[in-house]
Structure 1
Amino acid sequence: MERSVAYIGPSPAADGGPIVDDFYMFEAQYFNPHKRQHTEQHPLPSPPPSKRQKKLQHCSLGYIDTPAFWDSLSKIWLTKHALRELNRRNAKPLLYSPSPRAHRPVTRNLLAEVKKRHKPIQSVSDFLHNCTPKTLKNIKLFARYGGPDLSDLRGHPESTHSFEYTMSLRHSSRHSRVQKRASSSRTKTTTTKTTVTKITRNSRPQDVNYHQKLIDGGVYPYGYKFPDGSKPPLPPNLEEVIRRLAQPRSSPSPSRFLEKYEEFIERDAEAFNEDAVKDSVIPAMLRAMGTSNRTQRNVWFTNIDPIVAGISQAKPEYYYGAQPEQIHPDIRNNEQLNKHIIPSSHTHLPAVPNFSLEAKGPDGSSAEAIRQACHDGALGERAMHSLRAYGQDQPVYDNNIHTISSTYCDGTLKMYGHSIAQPEGPGTRPEYYMHHLKGWNMTGDQDTFLKGATTFKNAVDLTREYRDAAIAHANEMRRIIDHEGNIEEVEESE
C-alpha cells in the first residue's frame, strides 16, 4: 500500500513547497510502509527539557514532542509544533569549528604568506563566463532542480570563510524583514547567531500530527478513508446498537426536569472557556438527564500501555467503568491484562473504561474532541477485547461495537461506537475503527434534549451490559483454569 508523505528538511531553492526560514517543506509522492526507512544517524543535541516543558510536551500536544516522534510519522502536517521542530533542526551549531591557535603577530611576512596561500575568490558570473559550452551545459543540467547545497548537510564541515559569508548574507538580508515584522508580531524573535523563530505554544491539547500518529498506529477516526478510497468496515452490530440507543425510557417529572433543564441552559450560556464547560455545564447536563453519578472525572490513564507509541496518556473528561472487585484478582494482577483494563495507578478507580465523554469550550475545536474520543474509545475497546479473549488460544476479532465515546462541543452531543478488527489475518496488527452513532443539539429545545438524554443513558446501560458480559466471561475462564489446575495437582499427588 502506497501512501503520500510530507518531509521537513533543508534543501536548496526549488519549485513546489512553502518556504520556511530559507528551508522548505515538500511532499513526496509515494511512501512504502514495508520498505525500511532511513532515520537520522546523528540526532542533534538539545538541552534537557525542564519540568514545565516535559509537562507541556505531554499535556498540551497529546503526543511526546521528540525527534523520534516526528521521524516516525508517515506524513507531517504544517503546524506550529512542526515548525518548531524544523527550527530546532535547522539551528545546528558549527560542528567543526577550527581549533584555537596561538596568537601570531601580523607582520609583512604573515600577510605575504596568507596572500600566497589563499587564491582570490572568483565570482559565479566570472566563472560561468569563462566556462566552455560543454561545461556550461553540464552545469545547467546539474542545477536544473537547484543542485545540492552541501553546506546544508548535517555534520558537513564548513570553512571559516564560507560560514562567515553565509551568516553575513543571512543577517543582512533578514535585517530589514525583522524590522518590518517586529511591529506586527510579538511572538517571533530572531538571533543573528542561529536565526531561530520562537513560536508561542498552542494551548489546544491536540493537533493534526497527533491525529496522524493515531492513523499510523492503526487507530482510525470517524470519516477516515484508506488510500484506495475505501472506508473501514462497518461493524455487524451497528444497527443493533443504534436501535438499543433509541429505546424509549420513562419520562422524568416535568417540574423537576424543567428546573434542571433551565439550569443547564443557563450554565451553557454563561460558560466562557473549557474549564467552565467541564466544571459547570457537563454536571448540569448530567443532572438534567438523571443519569448515574458513578463516573470519574479528569483521570490520567497512566497505568495503561499506550495504544500507539509516542503519544501521551489519555485523559477523558468523564468515563464509566466497572468496580475493580468485579474482576478476579488473578486477572487484575495479570501483567499484560493489568496494562489494558486498569486505567490508573490508583487501582480503586473504575476499570475497563468502555464509555467516555470529551468536552470543549465555546472556542474549542470539535475536531480535537473527536481525536480525543477516538483515542479514548480505542483504549476502551482494547480493554474489552482483552477480557473477551482471556483464556482463548486464538482471540476472535468480530469487529463488533463494545465501546462508546461521546463529545460535547458548542451545545452539541455526539456519540461514536468503537470496534476492533484484524483485517490482515491472525498474528497481524489489529486496527481500531470509530463509527458515528447519533448527534443531538442539547441546547435546542426540551424535546431534543430529552432525545439526547435518552440516547446517553441508554449508552451508559448498554456499555455496562457489554462490560459485565466480558468480565463474566473472563472470570469464568479463570475459574475453569483454576479447576483444571486443581485436578492436575490431585492426579500428580496420587
Structure 2
Amino acid sequence: MASGQIRKRPRASDHSQETDLRRKKPRFETCVSPDNFSPLFWDTLPQIKLTRRALREVDRRHSLQAHTRTESAGIVSKNLARFSRRGGPDLSRLRGYPYPPSARHNMSFETPKTVDGPAKVKKSSAYDANFETHLVHHNIYPKDHEFSDGRATPEPSGMDSLQQDLSAARASLSPSRFSESAFREFKRKNRTTSEGTLMRNAIPIIMGDANIANEGNIHFKHLESMTGEDTVAPVPDFFDGAPAGAVDKDVMRELGSKIKPSKRAGVPVVPNFFLEAKAPEGSPLVADRQACFDGANGSRGIHALQNHGTPQPVYDGIPYTFSSTYQSGHLQLYAHHLTAPDAPGGTPGYHMMQIDAWAMNGNINSFRSGATALRNARDIARRHRDRFIENANTRARAVREAHGARRARVTRRAQERGRQEDIGDGSPSQASTVPEEGATSGSTSQTSFPSSPRKSTDSAVQTCPTGPPT
C-alpha cells in the first residue's frame, strides 16, 4: 500500500543530538553563587566559626601551600646504580609534606563532584554564622543583638504610633470577605514542602491585592556593597518598590548605586519592604539573616533619598523599612532603622527590631491579625517611599531651575557686555557719531536717528561721546 511506503524525513544523528544537549548550558547558570568568599572576607573576621565555607577556605589555602612549595634543588643522577648507592637518596625533605590535593580531597567530608560540571552552591548556604559576624563587623546588626559593652539594640522612634497603624482594620479581611472556607483553603495551600510552591500559592493570600510595584528573586547586583566586600548580593523572595520612572533622572544618576537594585528593565527601585520565605526543612536562622541584610540595604537607600540635597544628614530613628519572614505558618515582622555614626565620617548603624509574630495556620483570628499587620506594613512603607521620592524630586527640580536662572543671567550679562563693546568699537549697528555742522575742530556730538537735518549756529549739541574716553 502507498501508506506503507511513506518514509519519515531524515533527522540528525543521535550522536549530534547528544552533542548539542551537552553543549547547552543550564538557564540558571548565571545565578549560581560563588564557591566561597574572597580571602579578605576571612582575614577581616574577628572570629571564625566552624562552617562548611570555612572548611572550604582551609582546603583552598592548604592546596595553595602544596602547589607553591619549592622543589629540591639537587641534581637527579641518570645512573640508577649510583642513585641507590648507600641506601638511596636523602628523603628528609619529605618530612611533614602534606598529602597531594587529590588524596586530601578523597579523604574530606565532601562528596566527589560529578563529571557534568561543578557542584551548585545554594544561595542560603552563604548566610551562615560567619556571614552574620561579617555583618556585625560592618555595623549591620540582627535582631536582639547585644553589644560588647552590654548595650541592647536601640529602640526605634515612634513605635507606639506604628503599632496603631499596623493594627488598623482591613476591609479585605472582614468576615464577609475572608470566611472560614477561605481560611481552610489557605491552610491547604500552606501544606507544602516546596519554597516555590509556597511563594506561588500561600504567600499571595497573606499579601492580598495591592496596587504596589513588586518583584521577587532578583539579584541586587547593581547596589554598592554595604561591607566593601564582594560576598553575596541580596536576593529577596519578595519586595515592594517604586516604578523606575517615579524617580527624577538627576536623583537616579546620583543615588542609583543605593536605590536601583538591578539594571533589568521594569524592576522596582527604592525597595523598602521585603519578605523571605522558607520551606519547613529550611533554616529559620538563614531567613532572619537574609531579612536583616535585605532591610539594611533598603534602609540605606531610603536614608540616601531622605537626605538627598540637604546640607546635613538626618538620623531620626524612625523605621522606614520593613521585612518579614515566613516558615511553617509562622510569620514574623521586623522594622529597620538607622542610628548616627559613632564618629564623624563613620558608618551608620543599621538595626533590626522585631515587631510581632503570628501563627498564621493556627486559627482564623490569628491569620487576620498577621495579615492585617503585613498589609498595613506594605502601605506604610509605600507612603514613606513615595514621600521621600517626591521630596527628592522637588529638590532636584529646584536645583535645575536655579541653575537655569543663573545661566540666563550670565547669558544676559554677556550679551550686554557685547553690545557695549560694539558701541565702543564704533559698530554701525549701534548709535553712530555724526559731527554737527559748524562744530569746532576736535569736538564731536552724537545724534541718534535725527528726524531732519538742521544747522547749529551757536555751538555743538551737548551729548555723550561714543568714542573711548580721552
Pairwise same-fold verdict (TM > 0.5): yes
2:200 is the counterpart of 1:279: yes
CA contact (8 A) 1:378 1:432 kept: yes
Equivalent residue for 1:228, pick from 149, 153, 162: 149
Q: 1:482 to 1:282 in 2, by over 3 A?
A: same
CA contact (8 A) 1:220 1:434 kept: yes
How far the C-alpha of 1:364 sits from its partner, in A, is 0.9
How far the C-alpha of 1:409 sits from its partner, in A, is 1.2
Q: 1:53 to 1:211 in 2, by over 3 A?
A: farther
SS of 2:326's partner is strand
Once the two structures are superposed, the pairs formed by residues 196-207 of structure 1 within 5 Å of their partners are: 197-199=108-110, 203=122, 204-205=124-125, 206-207=127-128
Equivalent residue for 2:389, pick from 453, 471, 480: 471
Once the two structures are superposed, the pairs formed by residues 79-158 of structure 1 within 5 Å of their partners are: 79-91=51-63, 92-93=65-66, 95-99=69-73, 101-105=75-79, 111=85
How far the C-alpha of 1:416 sits from its partner, in A, is 0.5
Q: 1:425 to 1:487 in 2, by over 3 A?
A: farther
Which residue matches 2:345? 427
Which residue matches 1:264? 186
Which residue matches 1:369? 287
How far the C-alpha of 1:108 sits from its partner, in A, is 7.5
2:243 is the counterpart of 1:319: no
How far the C-alpha of 1:238 sits from its partner, in A, is 2.4
Q: What is the count of residue pairs matched by the alignment?
A: 373
Q: 1:109 to 1:316 in 2, by over 3 A?
A: closer
How far the C-alpha of 1:456 sits from its partner, in A, is 0.9
After superposition, give the CA deviation of every residue in 1:136-195 in whole Å (9 maximum; x if it has no partner): xxxxxxxxxxxxxxxxxxxxxxx84241x445xx88xxxxxxxxxxxxxxxxx9954787
Per the normalisation by structure 2, the TM-score is: 0.72
Q: 1:324 to 1:190 in 2, by over 3 A?
A: closer
Q: 1:272 to 1:392 in 2, by over 3 A?
A: same
How far the C-alpha of 1:412 sits from its partner, in A, is 0.9
CA contact (8 A) 1:84 1:198 kept: no
2:252 is the counterpart of 1:332: yes
User: What amino acid is aligned across from residue 202 of structure 2 in structure 1?
Assistant: V
Which residue matches 2:312? 394
How far the C-alpha of 1:263 sits from its partner, in A, is 1.9
Which residue matches 2:420? none
Identity %: 30
SS of 1:220's partner is coil
Which residue matches 2:137? 216
After superposition, give the CA deviation of every residue in 1:402-434 in whole Å (9 maximum; x if it has no partner): 100111011011111111122314311111010
How many Å separate the matches in 2 of 1:492 and 1:368?
59
After superposition, give the CA deviation of every residue in 1:373-417 in whole Å (9 maximum; x if it has no partner): 011111111111111111112211222211001110110111111
CA contact (8 A) 1:355 1:404 kept: yes
Per the normalisation by structure 1, the TM-score is: 0.69
Which residue matches 1:175? none
CA contact (8 A) 2:274 2:291 kept: yes
User: What amino acid is aligned across from residue 190 of structure 2 in structure 1?
Assistant: D
SS of 2:303's partner is helix
How many Å separate the matches in 1 of 2:152 and 2:195?
33
Q: 1:294 to 1:106 in 2, by over 3 A?
A: closer
Which residue matches 1:36? none
Which residue matches 1:10? none
User: What amino acid is aligned across from residue 273 of structure 1 in structure 2?
Assistant: S
2:226 is the counterpart of 1:307: yes
- In structure 2, the gaps of 5 or more residues are 1-26, 112-118, 414-470
After superposition, give the CA deviation of every residue in 1:67-123 in whole Å (9 maximum; x if it has no partner): 2221122221111111121122234316111147343435579846x89xx9xxxxx
How many Å separate the matches in 2 of 1:239 and 1:349?
33
How many Å separate the matches in 2 of 1:52 and 1:87?
27
CA contact (8 A) 1:80 1:199 kept: no
After superposition, give the CA deviation of every residue in 1:311-333 in whole Å (9 maximum; x if it has no partner): 21111111111122221122122
Which residue matches 1:240? 161
How far the C-alpha of 1:222 sits from its partner, in A, is 0.4
SS of 1:359's partner is strand
Which residue matches 1:161? 92
